[in-house]
Amino acid sequence: MPDWDLISRTNIMKILQYPAYITINEFKAFSRSTTGYGYMTLDIAASIAAKNIEIDLLTQSNITKGFNYKNINILKRTWKDIFLNFKIIYLFSALKIIITNQISLKRIPNIILYYISMGYFEKILFRKNYDLVHVHGISYSTLPIINVCKKKKIPFLVTLHGLYSFSNSTGVSEKQKQMEKNFLVEAYEKKIPVTVISSGIKRTIFDFLNKIHQNNFEVITNGCNIETDNLHNNLNIREKYQIPPAKKIMVCVGNIGIRKNQGQIIEAYLTLPQTIKKNLVILFLGADTTNGQFQNDINKTNFADRLIYCGNIPKKDLPYYYSQADYNIVASISEGFGLSIIEGFVYGLPCLTFSDLDAVPDLFHQNAMLLVNDRNDKALAGGIENMITTNWDKKFIQEHAQRFSLEKMAEEYVNFYGKNIMRGVSHELCK
């Protein structure tokens, strides 16, 4: 464990966090993308800052004058900053990426902006003298940052919040998939420090590389707020959705779309015995990416009073849903971690999910989760039936949630920083 008093006294760590974006609902400019990634990257930065580590944060997705939020110094990034520090070499780099990767017309302005911002990023690095740059993910918006760190020999590490190269449900191009695969090869060969959020992601990486495990790759699972909020009964879910007291409530939290696979939950529900269907309501929470098709699919079932799409619920209201529900379900085709699983644990909710999800080895306990081995409607329906006919120990599940606190997650990140910075160990690119 790091010496926290020493860190506090000597201010030994100065870290720049670099996610593609963060989600802060209170600020319009930071609430355009409401995803688990956006919330989680903010939580990572804030929980590490709470350990008396100096945290600056910069993203490519926001023009902002800068402000302090939860002890994070969110750096300013204005059009003036970008153009005063413009370097023609980065415009040429952008054009090369656009031509080589056959970028669509819609995305070209973003790619150009990502690259012409690098002159300003260089200025920040020169001025701030960071111990380490922590990059979140491999994408067109983060790759320029990594390239600058290599060029300037600034130590950096990368956290992979999932992999998009090995699934057809992610909606990214083959060029983007190859970009991620190229990084994985380079990270292994040059020992770039990499953290992943689940054991399954790490296993997939080393299966792809066909190599033995290497200690520059480390699993640090996500965390969440494990304190149950005092909710004061301000939002009665049963009253809001007219759910009778005798019916059980199952929640499915996540943006509506192909990867999260809520459509299969509907299909599985339709195959349930009538006695189960009449006593179970499933609430779907998340932004709809299907352009209304999901609600249309629900309407066609004639069970719109039991399969209820609640819309994109603000994060601050999620505890009301978790605390008043009985079960949690995650049916995603792929899921780097599954934050809603541990959020449900905090309120004592058992989770039904598929056994092949990446984070199952990290999250599973037989008294907190029920796994479905086959990815078909009948098997999922059987899982739902088993879930609601099993007696679950709510208190045990809440105790299980203690393993996934933000504080524990922050300690693991600082340990990883320490191994790569405090002990003078760095990857070969920065030697």
Domains and CATH numbers, the chain: 4-223+406-430 (3.40.50.2000), 237-403 (3.40.50.2000)
- Is the CA virtual torsion 262, 264, 265, 269 positive or negative? positive
CB 326 within 8 A of CB 250: yes
Residues 155-168 have a mean pLDDT of 88
Percent of the chain with pLDDT over 70: 93
Percent of residues in the chain assigned helix, strand, coil, to nearest 5: 45, 15, 40
* 143-182 residues labelled b (16+ CB within 10 A) or e (exposed): bbbbebbbeeebbbbbbbbbbbbeeeebeeeeebbebbbe
Tens-digit pLDDT profile for residues 94-144: 999 999 988 889 999 999 999 999 999 999 998 988 999 999 999 999 999
Q: Is the pLDDT higher at 31 or at 69?
A: 69
Q: What is the pLDDT of residue 199?
A: 92
* Ramachandran sector of residue 66 (left: φ over 0; alpha: ψ -120 to 50; beta: rest): left
Q: Give 10's pLDDT tier (boundaries 50, 70, 90).
A: very low
pLDDT bin (cut points 50, 70, 90) of residue 48 is very high
**Residue, of 84 and 25, whose pLDDT is higher:** 84
Convert the pLDDT of each residue in 373-425 to its tens digit.
999 999 999 999 999 999 999 999 999 999 999 999 999 999 999 888 754 44
Query: Which tokens go with 242?
Result: 């007219």
Q: What is the pLDDT of the chain when averaged over all its residues?
A: 90
Say what the pLDDT of residue 361 is. 93
**138 by DSSP, 3-state: which?**
coil
What does the DSSP 8-state code read for residue 422? T
> What average pLDDT does this structure show over 39-51?
95
Q: Residue 170's pLDDT is what?
A: 63
Instruction: Examine the pLDDT at 251 and tell me if it is beyond 90.
Output: yes
pLDDT value, residue 175: 86
Q: What confidence tier does 365 reach under pLDDT thresholds 50, 70, 90?
A: very high
Q: What per-residue confidence (pLDDT) applies to 11?
A: 53
